[in-house]
Amino acid sequence: MAAVLTIDEEVFKSAARVTSAFLLLLAGCLVWQGVTRTSHMVAAVKRKERYERSKDASLLPIDRTVGNLLEWMPVFFGFFWTSMILTGGATVTAGWVYVAFRALYPFVAVNKGVTTAGAKPLILIATVPAYGALFALASPVICAVFF
């Protein structure tokens, strides 16, 4: 007979809040990316120039922000929700830390954290704590599943 797993309503609501905050951040960044790209394209048309998105270095910070959010989203949600269930909500703070530092990423990226020459050490202000939060989310899952 299979075991029935229940989750406390407050734990679920806490996880839903973190998830919603992340998804709002992602949606905001996608809108920012689209509006910026479109405004650059319109400006190029007004100048009677061909717009080449791949050569528009000013889009690099938002492109890297969206790319980073999307790259790590499955890892974040997988470990976040699994850890919330396994720990009874004890990892909700790590989820908020992850979202907060992902929200900081675009501000750091725009302020020379990401350039055409690559990522600069400044971007570590946003990435290292986020990866630490992922580790805090992954640890209880890995321990529960494999040990």
What is the residue type of 65? T
What is the residue type of 28? G
What is the residue type of 43? A
- What does the pLDDT look like over 68-123, one tens digit per residue? 999 999 999 999 999 999 999 999 999 999 999 999 999 999 998 888 888 889 99
Token pair for residue 20?
């919603």
**Residue pair 9/84 in contact by the 8 Å Cβ criterion:** no
Token pair for residue 135?
């580790």
Say which CATH class 9-146 falls into: mainly alpha
Half-sphere exposure of 11 (CA within 13 A, CB side): 15
Helix, strand or coil, per DSSP, at residue 118: strand
Residue 38 has pLDDT above 80, yes or no: yes
Q: How many CB atoms lie within 10 A of CB 146?
A: 6
Q: Give me the mean pLDDT over the 29-38 stretch.
A: 95
Q: How many CB atoms lie within 10 A of CB 116?
A: 6
**Which pLDDT belongs to residue 129?**
98
Full-prediction pTM beyond 0.85? yes
Token pair for residue 146?
């494999």
Half-sphere exposure of 93 (CA within 13 A, CB side): 2
**Which pLDDT belongs to residue 127?**
95
**Which pLDDT belongs to residue 2?**
73
Domain ranges of the chain: 9-146
Confidence of residue 1 (pLDDT cuts 50, 70, 90): low
Mean pLDDT of the chain: 93
